[in-house]
Amino acid sequence: MNYLFAIWAIVAKDVRSELRLRYALNALLMFVVTSLAVIIIAFQDSELNPEILSALFWIVIFFTAMSGLSRIFVSEEERGTILVLQLVASPSAVYFGKLIFNCGLTLFLSSAVTLLYVIVFPTFVIQSLVIFICTVFLGSLGFASASTMIAAIIAKAQAKSTLYTVLAFPVLAPLLITVIYATALSIQGDIWSNSIPQFQIMIGYLCVVVGFSFLMFDYVWKD
């Protein structure tokens, strides 16, 4: 019970901090609006196929997540509260608390991008809603899980933002390719069985990243 309470306390602290400062939330929403405006200007006279629509959709989510999720540990380092967390909570409790917060933030981001994307692009019509919802859910969790560990690694570095993007892209590239393909299948209205390999990759990716991060976070957090 003390372990679960520590996780919940970390999540609640991050939520209160974000609602008070709104740093990550405002940055994420502004990046979404700016990215969609650029896409509209660039492709206003073009008819986009499902593959291009899916790629643009996830590129917006990817770069928006890169601009906001790195703050989860950097903010602790800047405020000088990272030592307090190391004293009052176990490394695994800190990891899962930060992971849950990042997952919630990424799911909110994905929902906002989806809503705006549907409004902006009338051709973005989801034929298979189940495939799309599962793809967005698993893709968002995968982005959040990898981003949380990378944010912990670069928290003490000097060039944080640059290093974060350099480390994040090769780690997230396999997941990005998979979710783009699965989203294209949902737009085309493909049958569920054709999407099973993509979901297997997404679930396997999520399990591997979370498992590896859980095992290694103790060393990253203390060193």
Q: Average per-residue pLDDT in the chain?
A: 82
Rounded to 5 degrees, what angle do the CA atoms 173, 179, 184 make? 130
* Number of C-beta neighbours around residue 151 at 10 A: 23
Positive or negative torsion for Cα 35, 37, 41, 45: positive
pLDDT at 138: 93
- Residue 48's CB is within 10 A of a number of other CB atoms, namely 15
- Joined tokens for residue 184: 């294209």
pLDDT, position 17: 78
Check residue 100 and give its pLDDT.
92
The type of residue at 78 is E
| pLDDT single digits (tens) 131-174 | 899 999 999 999 989 988 888 888 776 656 667 777 888 888 89
- Taking only the tens place, the pLDDT of each residue in 10-34 is 888 888 877 776 666 777 777 778 8
The residue behind tokens 């509209």 is: 40
Identity of the amino acid at 124? F
Q: Is the pLDDT of residue 179 over 90?
A: yes
> What residue has token string 């306390």?
9
- Nearest residue to 99 via CA among 8, 176, 169: 8
Mean pLDDT check: name the lowest of 70-74, 111-115, 178-182, 200-204. 70-74
Query: Structure pTM?
Result: 0.87
Q: Sorting pLDDT into bands at 50, 70 and 90, what band is 210? A: very high
pLDDT of residue 159: 59
Residue 121 has a pLDDT of 79
| Most confident of the following: 78-82, 102-106, 121-125 | 102-106
Quickly state the pLDDT bin for 204 (edges 50, 70, 90): very high
Which of 167, 176, 95, 191 minimizes the C-alpha distance to 138? 176
Mean pLDDT of 186-212: 87
Determine the average pLDDT of the residues in 81-105.
85
* Cβ atoms within 10 Å of 5's Cβ, excluding its own: 11
**Angle at which helices 23-42 and 50-68 pack, to 10 degrees?**
150
* pLDDT given for residue 24 in this prediction: 66
